[in-house]
């Protein structure tokens, strides 16, 4: 994953600690963000992937109530209360399903980054998961469906790029985009808690 992101950086992708990253469930992707964007880079773990990973360690009849508790915690606007609820759920699962508890604890606080930043509404619903980019992946799969013989890696890259270009033609605005300045200011306050937002913007521009 680090090599993949490094290659994207070489191609012009800009990674800084001034951004919010929303990775899926792969630990390697989280590590790659930390390695390339810095230790302070803010990450919002995908709640859909986290719920899927936790419930993957549970028997079918236990999954519904765990998902309900996760949804309730993640919808709590008070960060402290939300984190307390998740920790209580992890302790409850520890007794009978320690693997599920461990999965929940891994990156637990990063599932609440948007809550900690004070971001809510449509923008929070958009950024709390990777759902907004899943349609692009589906388009890429569709464009590659009829390829019967892959000759080399370059061919895969070309077809993937073609699929992404096709998907881009149907992109919509981010739901909640009007609150992006609010997210920007919240990130600045997080990174520069003693510096007014205007001065933080100056530092970023420098």
Look up residue 195 and give its DSSP letter.
Answer: S
Tell whether the model's pLDDT for residue 110 goes beyond 90: yes
Burial of 77 per CB tally in 10 Å (0-12, 13-18, 19+): exposed
pLDDT tens figures, 139-174? 999 989 889 899 888 898 899 989 999 988 888 889
Q: Grade residue 206 by pLDDT with cuts at 50, 70 and 90.
A: very low
> Using CA atoms, how far apart are residues 202 and 109, in angstroms rounded to an integer?
29
For the beta carbon of residue 96, count every other beta carbon within 10 angstroms: 11
The answer to whether residues 90 and 104 touch, using CB atoms and an 8 Å cutoff, is yes
pLDDT tens figures, 3-60? 878 888 888 888 887 899 998 877 888 888 888 888 889 999 999 999 999 999 999 9
Q: Where are the beta strands (DSSP E) in 44-191?
A: none
> Using CA atoms, how far apart are residues 160 and 158, in angstroms rounded to an integer?
5
pLDDT at 9: 86
Tell whether the model's pLDDT for residue 128 goes beyond 90: yes
């Amino acid at each position: 994953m680090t090599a993949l992101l490094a290659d994207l950086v070489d191609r012009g992708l800009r990674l800084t600690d001034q951004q919010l990253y929303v990775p899926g469930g792969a630990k390697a992707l989280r590590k790659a963000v930390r390695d390339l964007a810095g230790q302070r880079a803010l990450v919002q773990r995908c709640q859909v992937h986290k719920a899927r990973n936790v419930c993957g360690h549970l028997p079918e009849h236990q999954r519904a109530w765990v998902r309900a508790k996760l949804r309730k915690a993640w919808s709590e606007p008070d960060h402290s209360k939300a984190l307390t609820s998740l920790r209580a759920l992890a302790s409850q699962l520890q007794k009978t399903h320690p693997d599920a508890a461990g999965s929940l604890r891994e990156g637990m606080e990063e599932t609440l980054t948007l809550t900690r930043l004070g971001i809510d509404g449509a923008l929070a619903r958009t950024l709390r998961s990777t759902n907004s980019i899943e349609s692009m992946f589906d388009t890429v799969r569709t464009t590659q469906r009829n390829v019967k013989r892959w000759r080399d890696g370059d061919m895969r890259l070309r077809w993937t790029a073609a699929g992404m270009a096709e998907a881009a033609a149907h992109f919509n605005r981010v739901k909640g985009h009007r609150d992006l300045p609010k997210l920007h200011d919240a990130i600045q306050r997080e990174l520069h808690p003693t510096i007014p937002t205007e001065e933080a913007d100056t530092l970023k521009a420098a």
